[in-house]
């Protein structure tokens, strides 16, 4: 089950860089193309999301979806007490589709009632972050 959790740690304040010589001109602030967030801005809007799945007999579990380009290597989960697997990711606000890959088998999130049908005729779970 994916749970939304607002990040409670505040952004660390950085020291202002030392002023350069008085003759130096101030560089204009960099703007991103087409209004897209810069990496620093994107990171500051990210929210920690915890995924959990009970699969006591599983040897390997991964959470995969549109947030990691469906790459099982990027979603490897850790096994915890009672056979509950977990993974926490930082995700930007938006809507994501995902599934669990359990020992090579695709599972929709049994705790999430939000789903859509995919091109394979099965279901993907849907997670909405923020907004």
Among residues 115, 110, 39, the alpha carbon closest in space to that of 124 is found at: 115
Q: Which residues contact 64 (CB under 8 A, 6 or more apart)?
A: 70, 71, 72, 74, 75, 98, 99, 100, 101
Q: Where are the domains of the chain?
A: 39-129
Taking only the tens place, the pLDDT of each residue in 10-66 is 333 333 334 334 444 434 433 334 434 444 444 568 999 999 999 999 999 999 999
Query: How many other C-beta atoms can be found within 10 angstroms of the C-beta atom of residue 123?
Result: 16
- pLDDT over 90 at 8, yes or no: no
Taking only the tens place, the pLDDT of each residue in 94-113 is 999 999 999 999 999 999 99
CATH architecture of 39-129: Sandwich (2.60)
Q: What is the separation of C-alpha 23 from the centre of its chain, rounded to a whole number of angstroms?
A: 45
């Amino acid at each position: 089950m994916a749970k939304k959790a607002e990040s409670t740690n505040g952004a660390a304040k950085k020291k202002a860089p030392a002023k350069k010589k008085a003759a130096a001109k101030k560089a204009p602030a960099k703007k991103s193309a087409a209004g897209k967030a810069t990496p620093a801005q994107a990171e500051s809007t990210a929210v920690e999301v915890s995924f959990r799945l009970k699969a006591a007999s599983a040897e390997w579990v991964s959470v995969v979806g549109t947030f990691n380009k469906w790459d099982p290597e990027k979603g490897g989960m850790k096994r915890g007490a009672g056979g509950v697997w977990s993974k926490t990711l930082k995700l930007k606000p938006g809507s994501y589709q995902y599934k669990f890959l359990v020992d090579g088998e695709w599972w929709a999130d049994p705790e999430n009632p939000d789903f859509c049908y995919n091109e394979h005729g099965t279901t993907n779970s849907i997670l909405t972050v923020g907004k």
